[in-house]
Amino acid sequence: MTLWFVFALMTVAAILAVLLPLGRSGRAQNQGSEVAVYKDQLTEIERDLAAGLIAAPEAEAARVEISRRLLAAADSEPAAAPKSSLKWRRAAAVLALVGLPLVTIGVYMPLGSPRLEDFPLAQRARGSGSGMTLENLVVQVEQHLEKNPTDGRGWNVLAPVLQRLGRFDEAVRAYRNSLTYNGESAERRSDLGEAVSAAAGGVVTAEAKIEFERARAINADDPKANYFLGLAAEQDGHKDEAANIWRALLAKAPADAPWRPLVQSSLARVGGGGTVPALSDETIAASKDMNEGDRNAMVRGMVERLATRLKQNGDDVEGWLRLVRAYLVMGDRDKAVGASADARQAVASDAARLRQLNEGLKTLGLDG
């Protein structure tokens, strides 16, 4: 209510600013005119002359010139007495009394939030305790850490919360600090790695991989590190490697480990073959146990599917390398050479991929 009262007072003040001069009649105000300026210029010449700053002839010439302007200005002074037009004054008064409030309310209402109270820092500090959200607690811990940046325990508390809140970049920083002030541990390393890959949108980047590897160096059986290293292998296209890591992880895991189902489903994803033909060395090797005809049919089918897919989307360097390798395994060197030429053309516009491809081909013995 107070707010509206203040608004009303302000509006009245604004209206008065328009109405007051309208109420005054006649020539209450002083006003200047050109004549005053020219007269001043004339006295200035006298002054300069007296001070010896200008010579008499110059002064005379200037005096004539200014006098001419003075006469002209005096002639053009508004001869007519000021009029007062009551009709227009009333219109202006109405404009102020009605138009001004209408405009201000019309503009303010859609933009303003008159119901919202102020929320200054002092008030917030008083009102703490109840209604604390997780975010606000985080802020308090952050403020504490701002002052005591070496408090390792604080970072330890903060980091997982930030991770859960989805503030991955900050979580990475918090885990780093936690490592600095609490010392090395496999868990902290792998937590950091997890945060790094979360920040990268779930991709186990090289940076994240380093952290997991460090974690594994401390504790070879750290489950999180092993899981993510498997994931890294999968994302690099080495599904067999991923499967191996995860299989080893499951073998060592206690039967009631809460993460068992996650690893199992991941293993099924790489082992059970997804929708994308996974032409890993393992499958090719496995197919060697089949009889000749079956094996050829299976391998050729898979290779053809892969070739078709790569024709549609040629950016998959790993795919190209697998295809070339498959041709080589099948003993079809010409096709392998053809495929590598196709691959080079498909990724030619991308220097990074081209380099990756060339390196891959080199290891397959298809140089240049």
Tell whether residue 181 is a contact of other proteins (CB under 8 A): no
Tokens representing 298 are 């299976």
With vertex at residue 243, the alpha carbon angle to CA 223 and CA 160, rounded to the nearest 5 degrees, is 30
Q: Quote the least distance from Cβ 119 to other proteins, whole Å.
A: 4
With vertex at residue 81, the alpha carbon angle to CA 80 and CA 82, rounded to the nearest 5 degrees, is 115
- Taking CB under 8 A as the criterion, the residue among 42, 59, 95, 307 binding other proteins is 95
Q: Quote the least distance from Cβ 340 to other proteins, whole Å.
A: 13
Alpha-carbon distance of 182 to 188, in angstroms, equals: 9
Tell whether residue 64 is a contact of other proteins (CB under 8 A): no
Residues between 231 and 250 with contacts to other proteins, criterion CB under 8 A: 235
- Taking CB under 8 A as the criterion, the residue among 46, 60, 108, 221 binding other proteins is 108
Tell whether residue 13 is a contact of other proteins (CB under 8 A): yes
Tell whether residue 251 is a contact of other proteins (CB under 8 A): no
Tell whether residue 151 is a contact of other proteins (CB under 8 A): no
Q: 108 or 259: whose CB is closer to other proteins?
A: 108
Longest dimension (CA), the chain: 126
Binding span for other proteins by CB under 8 A among 18-26, 259-267, 283-291, 298-306: 18-26
Q: 142 or 332: whose CB is closer to other proteins?
A: 142
Alpha-carbon distance of 192 to 10, in angstroms, equals: 57
Tell whether residue 180 is a contact of other proteins (CB under 8 A): no
Find the radius of gyration of the CA atoms of the chain: 42
Residues between 301 and 330 with contacts to other proteins, criterion CB under 8 A: 313, 315
3-17 burial, b for 16+ CB within 10 Å, e for fewer? eeeebeeeeeeebee
Half-sphere exposure of 41 (CA within 13 A, CB side): 17
Tokens representing 262 are 């996650």
Q: Quote the least distance from Cβ 283 to other proteins, whole Å.
A: 22
- Taking CB under 8 A as the criterion, the residue among 129, 201, 254, 368 binding other proteins is 201
- Taking CB under 8 A as the criterion, the residue among 94, 97, 98, 135 binding other proteins is 135
Q: Quote the least distance from Cβ 314 to other proteins, whole Å.
A: 9
CA 112 to each of CA 105, 106, 117, 292: distance values in angstroms, whole numbers, following the listed order: 10, 11, 12, 79
Alpha-carbon distance of 100 to 12, in angstroms, equals: 10
Q: 43 or 291: whose CB is closer to other proteins?
A: 43
Tokens representing 248 are 């080893």
Concatenating the DSSP letter of every residue in 88-113 gives HHHHHHHIIIIIHHHHHHHHHHHH--
Tell whether residue 83 is a contact of other proteins (CB under 8 A): yes
Tell whether residue 24 is a contact of other proteins (CB under 8 A): yes
Tell whether residue 31 is a contact of other proteins (CB under 8 A): yes
Tell whether residue 297 is a contact of other proteins (CB under 8 A): no
Tell whether residue 51 is a contact of other proteins (CB under 8 A): yes
Q: 199 or 302: whose CB is closer to other proteins?
A: 199
